[in-house]
Structure 1
Amino acid sequence: MLLSQDTCFILFLEEKPSIPQEYSHLHLHSKGFFPEIEVQDFPIRSKAVYLRVRRRHWEDPETGQTYSRDWNLVASGTRITAEFGAFLKALLRQACR
């Protein structure tokens, strides 16, 4: 869902109800969502963009252990995506040669 305001766009994203591939051998059941997180993304048409993400968590009913996907959306200590951070680092390495 997209909410457009005068100063920003807010995109609401919800993880699909499919079991993570790395746990497909287990019989897991969805146990709802973690608290929603908000990530600021690149501007669109001079408006700020915010992604509001709801991540699922899963439970193995036999053991009670919970599982979730490993989402490294934001580089640690920054307000940019990990992918964009890697891109900037690559540019810096090229400039320093």
Structure 2
Amino acid sequence: MNQDLIRLLLPEGLFEYFEVVKVEKVENSYNIHITELNLIPKEFDGQKLESKGYFEEETVRDFPLRGKACFLKIKRRKWLNHDSGKIV
């Protein structure tokens, strides 16, 4: 998979927080699977967080590619905040 080409197609700044794990062509659409990097969110800087897997995958429709629908399949991390005991 050519990361430079994918960077041109996806929204600017996306690669700061996500990595592309799979790109697939499905009948009349493209599915681009992205997963959040293991980086503690800036708004929780200084708090003790632990990665606890992922939330359920979300699908976002993006701009069409070559006349076909394009969907971003997004997996975001769950973080356990040890100070509050809550998942963020």
TM-score by length of 2: 0.69
Number of positions where the alignment pairs a residue of Structure 1 with one of Structure 2: 67
2:69 is the counterpart of 1:42: no
For residue 60 of structure 2, give the secondary structure of its aligned residue in structure 1. Answer: strand
Of residues 45, 48, 56, the one that matches 1:27 is 48
2:84 is the counterpart of 1:63: yes
Give 1:6 shift: 3.5
Structure 1 segments of 4+ aligned residues over 6 angstroms from their partners: none
Larger Rg: 1
CA contact (8 A) 2:49 2:80 kept: yes
- Structure ranking higher in strand proportion: 2
2:1 is the counterpart of 1:12: no
* Unmatched 5+ stretches in structure 1: 68-97
Give 1:62 shift: 4.4
Q: Distance in 2 between matches of 1:8 and 1:43?
A: 8
For residue 31 of structure 2, give the secondary structure of its aligned residue in structure 1. Answer: strand
Aligned Cα root-mean-square deviation (Å): 1.2
* Unmatched 5+ stretches in structure 2: 1-21
